[in-house]
Chains A and B, each alone.
Chain A
Amino acid sequence: MIKEVHMPKLSPKSDEYFFGKWDKQPGDAVKTGDVLFEVETEKAISQVESQEDGTLKAQEVATGDTTKVGDLVATIEVA
């Protein structure tokens, strides 16, 4: 089954962030709690953890992209 990963709300005051970098690549195994990617908000670099166990299937955004809360960021194939 494919699970979609959407951009979470990472800052109380804004809904748009710069996408930082990927910590997992397509094909990598991911576990709940693994850092999937980093996002730059006004005051921090937020590390976003996976909420699923599975395999990263696709990355939908790239470093430097502006992303909005709710945007599709990745898909994970879960068993």
Chain B
Amino acid sequence: MTTKHQTSTPTKAPAKPNWLKVTYDQKKVDKMTDLLKGLKLNTVCAEANCPNLGECFGSGSASFIILGPNCTRACRFCDIPHGHPKDVDLLEPLRVAQATKKLGLTHVVITSVDRDDLPDLGADQFVRTIHAIKKLNPKTTIEVLTPDFQGREDCLDKVIAAGPDVFNHNMETVRRVTPLVRNRATYDTSLHVLDYVKKHAPKTMYVKTGIMLGLGEKDEEVYQLMDDLRAIDVDFLTIGQYVQPGPKNYTLREWVPMSRYQEYYKQAMKRGFKFVASSPLVRSSYKAKEELEAVESK
């Protein structure tokens, strides 16, 4: 397996907790990596250096990141390269659809880098990708994890009309911490995105968001965020641990103990979310298929 990314000597960060222990079967990961490379596709799994990569690639699941690999924003928590964006690849949607078929995915997650440089902010590529997946994989459920599209409703309308099963947009963190870690994104714009989608999407489309813990947020701030989300009727919430990608990223404030994840789960369920995943290794697309199945079978 080779990578185009520059390699760097690791720097010793605070000792990692035991729950960050993952198994990694290189043969299985290599098989997946070769397939993705053959189709010239990027995954958020590899681009964000996800700790769950071994498990997900090992079991044949992946989350595709379109319009990349470079992002027009430089959020301080994120490991995805910030740089000059590339031309939109009009064949990418077809390749995502082909990969979905090849991997036999029954649920697929499509996310993207931010594309503030494009007139449509990347919305049309989401639409093309959803259509291509549906054509080749009519039974596969589709989850999109979108940028904020600068809050532009015409972009949201397009993606809603393409008909994903789950519309996910991440709040990332509580209101106070947002300007410390997000770039050109605000708490209120993200809330507006979720609110707009909930109001304008068919009732059968679930609206989802996720946050990271360990950025210095306080309990009451997390509960305020939950209240803000429930006030606009957001359906799913994911809560996971921030892992600092490198020395230049936002400094990890805390490895949050499991008891807090459990308390947040209880508090969130009490507030009426349909589904909550709250555990250190939870990522917004981790086990998304199981999440949708759990809600649909209720």
- A interface with B by C-beta (< 8 Å): 8-18, 35, 38, 40-49, 51, 66
Instruction: Write out the residue numbers on chain B whose beta carbons fall within 8 Å of the beta carbon of A10.
Output: 24, 26, 54
Q: Are B10 and A42 in contact (CB under 8 A)?
A: yes
In the complex, B25 has a CB within 8 A of chain A? yes
Q: Are B23 and A47 in contact (CB under 8 A)?
A: yes
Q: Are B49 and A43 in contact (CB under 8 A)?
A: yes
What are 8 A-B residue pairs whose CB atoms fall within 8 Å in the complex? A9-B1, A10-B24, A12-B33, A42-B10, A43-B49, A44-B16, A47-B23, A51-B27
In the assembled complex, the Cα of A23 lies from the Cα of B23 at a distance in Å of 13
Instruction: Write out the residue numbers on chain B whose beta carbons fall within 8 Å of the beta carbon of A43.
Output: 20, 49-51, 243, 245
Q: Are A12 and B10 in contact (CB under 8 A)?
A: no
Q: Are B21 and A45 in contact (CB under 8 A)?
A: yes
- A2 → B minimal CB distance (Å): 20
Closest to A40 in B: B16
**From A18, A41, A48, residue with most partner B Cβ within 10 Å:** A41
Instruction: Write out the residue numbers on chain B whose beta carbons fall within 8 Å of the beta carbon of A46.
Output: 21-24, 54
Q: Are A17 and B22 in contact (CB under 8 A)?
A: no
Given the known interface contacts A8-B26, A18-B10, A18-B12, the answer about A44 and B1 at a Cβ–Cβ threshold of 8 Å is no
In the assembled complex, the Cα of A16 lies from the Cα of B12 at a distance in Å of 12
Instruction: Write out the residue numbers on chain A whose beta carbons fall within 8 Å of the beta carbon of B10.
Output: 14, 16-18, 40-42, 66
Instruction: Write out the residue numbers on chain B whose beta carbons fall within 8 Å of the beta carbon of A8.
Output: 24, 26
Instruction: Write out the residue numbers on chain B whose beta carbons fall within 8 Å of the beta carbon of A47.
Output: 21-24
In the assembled complex, the Cα of A17 lies from the Cα of B16 at a distance in Å of 14
Q: Are B49 and A45 in contact (CB under 8 A)?
A: no
- A11 → B minimal CB distance (Å): 6
In the complex, B46 has a CB within 8 A of chain A? yes
Q: Are B7 and A14 in contact (CB under 8 A)?
A: yes
Known: A14-B10, A16-B7, A44-B20. 9 other contacts (CB 8 A): A12-B3, A12-B45, A13-B5, A13-B46, A14-B8, A40-B10, A46-B23, A46-B24, A66-B10
- B interface with A by C-beta (< 8 Å): 1, 3, 5, 7-10, 12, 16, 18, 20-27, 33, 45-47, 49-51, 53-54, 79, 243, 245-246
Instruction: Write out the residue numbers on chain A whose beta carbons fall within 8 Å of the beta carbon of B24.
Output: 8, 10, 46-48
Q: Are B245 and A49 in contact (CB under 8 A)?
A: no
Of the candidates A12, A14, A38, A45, which one forms a contact with B53 in the assembled complex, judged by CB atoms under 8 Å apart? Answer: A12
6 closest A-B pairs by beta carbon, nearest first, are A44-B51, A12-B46, A8-B26, A15-B7, A46-B24, A45-B21
Given the known interface contacts A18-B12, A40-B10, A43-B51, the answer about A13 and B79 at a Cβ–Cβ threshold of 8 Å is yes
In the assembled complex, the Cα of A38 lies from the Cα of B5 at a distance in Å of 24
In the assembled complex, the Cα of A45 lies from the Cα of B16 at a distance in Å of 7
Instruction: Write out the residue numbers on chain B whose beta carbons fall within 8 Å of the beta carbon of A17.
Output: 10
Instruction: Write out the residue numbers on chain A whose beta carbons fall within 8 Å of the beta carbon of B53.
Output: 12
In the assembled complex, the Cα of A14 lies from the Cα of B11 at a distance in Å of 12
Q: Are B25 and A49 in contact (CB under 8 A)?
A: yes
In the assembled complex, the Cα of A15 lies from the Cα of B16 at a distance in Å of 19
Given the known interface contacts A12-B5, A13-B5, the answer about A42 and B21 at a Cβ–Cβ threshold of 8 Å is no
Instruction: Write out the residue numbers on chain A whose beta carbons fall within 8 Å of the beta carbon of B50.
Output: 43
Of the candidates B20, B21, B22, B49, which one forms a contact with A12 in the assembled complex, judged by CB atoms under 8 Å apart? Answer: B49
- A45 → B minimal CB distance (Å): 5
Instruction: Write out the residue numbers on chain B whose beta carbons fall within 8 Å of the beta carbon of A13.
Output: 3, 5, 7, 46, 49, 79
In the assembled complex, the Cα of A46 lies from the Cα of B51 at a distance in Å of 9
Q: Are B51 and A49 in contact (CB under 8 A)?
A: no
Instruction: Write out the residue numbers on chain A whose beta carbons fall within 8 Å of the beta carbon of B25.
Output: 49
